[in-house]
Structure 1
Amino acid sequence: MRRRRNVEGFSLSFLDCISCGFGAILLLLVLSKIYEPSVIEKSEEDLDALIALLEAELFEIRGDTAVLNRELVSRREETTETRMTLAQLQRELDKVQGQYALISEDAPALDVDEGELEAARQRLTAEMRRLRPNFRRAPDDSIGGIPVDSEYIIFVIDTSGSMQAKWDWAEEKLGEVLDVYPTVKGLQIMNDNGRFMFEQHGRTWLPDTPQLRQAIKSTMRQWAPFSDSDPSDGIAYAIQTFWAPDKKISIYVFGDEFQGQSMEAVLRDIDGINVEDEDGNRLVRIHAVGFPYSFSGSTIPQSSQRFAGLMRLLCERNGGTFVALTNRNR
């Protein structure tokens, strides 16, 4: 019989298995060490901080968005207002261009040579005195007694709604005043707020020609800029803009009411602008034509009474004449 081989209890394969098992236990211990509770808590704290930071950024972005939305709405409103203003200016421009076209067609003499204007400035007031024999009164004598020694005339006309109700009458009286002066060296027309009838020729004298006078009467028919029924602004602006020591100027105020705050303040302000010289003469003469506010009833509106009182004192102080019209002498 063959002899059997002895089997050892601890072979190399057994030792390998034991070693691998021991190594696996050590690996498990190492891996479990990474996920200890302290490490997990630290990870949770980091995540909470990150979430809080992201929420803060989100709130900030939402706030910026709300601000931008408000600014966008404001810009849209401003754009709408700008467009409305632009449309209004365009309408006014179209109106002015139409008036300019009318003047260009009917009054070519407006393009006057500067040398001629300079020569006119240098003429003596004796020229006006020579023209005095040609003086013609208006048909109904409604402006009788008003001195006509001025060489330059400015009309300050109330264009409010109450005056528009009797605008044909105002047109008639404007024509009569122009007829009283056969010729002058310069004219201007503005409303009581300082808006010129011919804006393109504002702040400059219009040379007196038959074509210009006809253009004034034609434009007067549809002229209706905004007015607050306070002639003091227009009077002060006219004096400050057009007075010069070599010019004799008269201002004619057309109106029917005074809506200003204080008559005394107006008189004081005009006294400060239209100052007296050493002979007691003012820079310009101020005349006024008062139109009745209402053609019916016995009660005169307070604003109409204030206009009459103010113009009477203003004309008296400034070398002019106040003419109060009534329905009888219309």
Structure 2
Amino acid sequence: MKKSRSPVEVFSLSFLDVISCAFGAVVMLILLAKNGEVGDYSQEANVADISETILALSEAQTTVETLEAELRAQAARLQGAQHDGASNSTEAQQLEVKVARAQRDLQELTDQASGLEDTLAQRQQAAISVGDAPKRDTEVGGIPVDSDYVIFIVDTSGSMKSMWNKVTSSVNEVLNNHPEVKGFQVMSDNGDYLFAGSAGKWRADNTAQRNMTIRIMQSWRGSSNSSPVEGIETALRTYGPSTNSLALYVFGDDYSGGSYDVTLANINRLNTNTSGKKIARIHAIGFRKAKRSLGRDSLQFATLMTEVARRNNGTFISK
């Protein structure tokens, strides 16, 4: 007789135990995985690295932009410097052209001055003439030495002192070309006297007096404003009314005074007597340093004294 088998139950207690254990194991694994340390290659680590990279990239871009701005500024300055350099080069070329033109003009003026110096030298050779000349020789600039009284009006400024030996030698030369006078006097262009004690008087004419005058002049320290007008006017006011035959010799190298017209009018008024005749001959001798062209002040002196001499029966010559 066959034994009957009991039916097999799939979901028996043992099976459920195994399943429960397996499920518990999975749960434990999940819990352990969540509570474990984050590895180097976790998602959060990757996000942090990316953030840092983005920040560094942003900073790098800012630095690049700053450097680009500085580079543009440097380029602008370089371009400006190049422009200024080109401008300076153009100005330098223009100045070179102007300098060359000025040199040509200077050479032309030098040639003209040389010609004038030759003419003056020729006139100076005939500048002194002895005798009674009613009018000056306008062709040769002759200076008549027929006056009984002579006054020397000498510029004592620094520029004249630099060639003082030449000045005193010229005074001595003119004085010696007057064979004999009744009296003479020496004044500065300001109207101050070489011999203060003889103001308004005449120095006696003799060899001793002439020699002493030149010797004292060598160390004369008179003041000056580089204008002969005061000396001329003082001489005419002081000696003109009481002197019949008078000559004024003006020695100078420049003129710092005012209007020519006013000066000429004042001198003409003081040098004209009641009968309308001239009281004194007024001569002038202009000086300048050797090898030096006439400056503006020297030209003004020459212009003024040429006209003064012309209007007062005198002569202007240049040394």
Amino acid at match of 2:248: I
From 261, 280, 284, the equivalent of 1:288 is 284
Partner residue of 2:173?
Answer: 176
Kindly report which structure 2 residues correspond to 1:142-161, keeping only aligned pairs within 5 A, or say none: 143=128, 145-161=142-158
* CA deviation after TM superposition for structure 1 residue 156, in Å: 0.3
Q: Paired residue for 1:302? A: 296
Matching of residues 21-36 of structure 1 within 5 Å: none
Q: Distance in 2 between matches of 1:190 and 1:143?
A: 22
1:244-290: CA deviations, max 9, x gaps? 35520000000000011222221111112111564x53011101111
Secondary structure of 2:224's aligned partner: coil
Check whether the contact 2:168–2:217 (CA below 8 A) recurs between aligned residues: yes
* Contact residue 127 and residue 143 of structure 2 kept, 8 A: no
Larger Rg computed on CA atoms: 2
Contact 2:128/2:145 (CA < 8 Å) preserved in 1? Answer: no
Deviation at 1:184, TM superposition (A): 0.5
When the two structures are superposed, what TM-score results if normalisation uses the length of structure 2? 0.55
Secondary structure, counterpart of 2:143 in structure 1 = coil
Aligned AA for 2:194? M
Aligned pair partner of 2:312 in 300, 314, 318: 318
Matched-pair contact (CA < 8 Å) for 2:152–2:249: yes
Q: Distance in 1 between matches of 2:257 and 2:206?
A: 36
Q: Find the aligned partners of 2:296 and 2:256 in 1 and give their Cα distance.
A: 9
* Residue of 213, 231, 235 corresponding to 1:234: 231
* 1:271 and 2:268 matched: yes
Q: Give 1:210 deviation, angstroms.
A: 1.0
TM-superposed CA distance for 1:141, in Å, is 5.3
What does residue range 61-100 of structure 1 map to in structure 2 within 5 Å?
Answer: none
- 1:213 aligns to 2:210 (yes or no): yes
Cα RMSD over matched residues? 1.8
Do the aligned partners of residues 171 and 227 (structure 1) sit closer, same or farther apart at CA in structure 2, a change above 3 Å counting?
same
Equivalent residue for 1:165, pick from 158, 162, 167:
162
Determine if contact 2:244/2:279 at 8 Å carries over to the other structure.
no
Distance 1:297-1:289 versus aligned 2 partners, 3 A rule? closer
Structure 1's unaligned 5+ residue stretches are: 1-138, 326-330
Any idea what SS the aligned residue of 1:289 has?
strand
CA distance in 1, matches of 2:193, 2:160: 17
Does the aligned pair in 2 maintain the 1:281–1:319 contact within 8 Å?
no
TM-score, normalised via structure 1 length: 0.53
Can you give the 5+ residue segments of structure 2 that lack an aligned partner in the other structure?
A: 1-123, 130-141
What is the aligned-residue identity percentage? 38
Q: Which amino acid aligns with 2:178?
A: Y
